[in-house]
Amino acid sequence: MYEKIQETAAWLKARINTRPDTAIILGTGLGRLADEIEIAQSISYSEIPNFPQSTVEGHSGKLLLGKLGGKDILAMQGRFHYYEGYSMKEVTFPVRVMYELGIKTLFVSNAGGGTNASFNVGDIMIITDHINLFPEHPLRGKNFPTGPRFPDMSEAYNKQLIALADEIAQEKGIKVQHGVYLGTQGPTFETPSEYRMFARMGADSVGMSTVPEVIVANHCGIKCFGISIITDLGVEGRIVEVSHEEVQRAANEVQPKMAEIMREMIRRS
Ligand code: HPA
């Protein structure tokens, strides 16, 4: 796997005209941010050697290079989910490649079901920490030379970036929540009892992504910042039927605010 990562990174380095140190995984709800990138290069995942291919509706598969907030950035339009059948090594492959390309800061977004009773649909939750409930650990197996065998996770989400996001949100009058994101494999949404269990475990939002990528980024010493858009509620008495379309719709509505925060963070960080 390590050779494959090196091979992919070398292939990309030979084609990329910039050397960005910031990357964004454009998860659900950040599609619009892609429109704000002054795109210089767009590389389809299907062209990139060893890159997994995206299958899920609403996630196209392209690597974008360009400027956002006046900075050179790399963006992943379309990510790989464990529920699609990829192994954890495949899910996190792009993050390993990012490290080889010189990425130092990673911005991620996702859609999540809110398990915190004070949340509402459409809330923007800044992820302060996570709980990993995926059945396979992305660092299982031979240790990669990018980090220690037993990596520290005491600040998986960078505190300075969280403070910066708060400052920007306040300036722009955008309401944000803080909370713990719990990552689970999906593809089912939760039963009411599962939502209750996750809430008791300490989760404020639950979703099917982000945690693997953030673990591997931490293992590579990449600083992480994440936002979870609350697209539905897993709160007793307020649980309604949820569908992928509903999740997309709720996430799309908050896109402009999300994009504003992310763009400004990149400009100032
Ligand atoms: N559960 C899991 N994943 C999700 C949810 C949810 O309620 N909403 C959006 N992604």
Question: How many CB atoms neighbour CB 226 within 10 A?
Answer: 29
Axis-axis angle for helices 211-219, 93-101 (nearest 10):
40
In this predicted structure, the answer to whether residue 194 has a pLDDT above a threshold of 80 is yes
Pairing of strands 22-26, 62-68: unpaired
Q: What is the dihedral of CA 231, 157, 146, 70, to 10 degrees?
A: 80
User: What is the pLDDT at residue 57?
Assistant: 56
Interval 228-253: pLDDT, tens: 999 999 988 877 777 888 878 877 88
pLDDT at 252: 81
| Tokens coding 123 | 């809330």
Q: What atom of ligand 1 comes closest to residue 184's alpha carbon?
A: 2
Q: Given phi > 0 = left and psi -120 to 50 = alpha, else beta, which region is 211?
A: alpha
User: Which residue from 108, 134, 181, 206 has its CB within 8 A of the most atoms of ligand 1, so it is best to mutate?
Assistant: 206
Q: What is the pLDDT of residues 159-169, one digit of tens each?
A: 999 999 999 99
How would residue 54 be classed by pLDDT, with cut points 50, 70 and 90?
Answer: low
β-strands 105-114, 124-132: how paired? Answer: unpaired
Distance of CA 50 to the CA centre of its chain: 21
pLDDT at residue 218 is higher than 80? yes
Quick one: residue 168, left, alpha or beta (phi over 0 = left, psi -120 to 50 = alpha)?
A: alpha
Q: Where do the H-state alpha helices sit in 102-243?
A: 159-171, 192-201, 211-219
Mean pLDDT of the chain: 92
Q: How confident is the model at residue 225 (pLDDT cuts 50, 70, 90)?
A: very high
Cross-strand pairs, 230 = 112
Instruction: Give yes or no for residue 56 having a pLDDT over 70.
Output: no
Tell me the average pLDDT across 108-124: 95
Region 27-52: what's the mean pLDDT? 87
User: Residue 158 corresponds to which tokens in the numbers above?
Assistant: 């960078």
Output the residue whose Cα is nearest ligand 1's atom 9: 112
Cα 81 to ligand 1 centre (Å) = 13
pLDDT at 14 over 90: yes
Confidence of residue 60 (pLDDT cuts 50, 70, 90): low
> For the chain, which domains are there?
2-250+263-268 (3.40.50.1580)
Which pTM was predicted? 0.94
Q: How far apart are CA 176 and CA 244, in angstroms?
A: 23
> What is the best residue among 57, 115, 127, 242 to mutate for testing ligand 1's pocket, by most ligand atoms within 8 Å of CB?
242
- Nearest-CA residue for atom 6 of ligand 1: 113
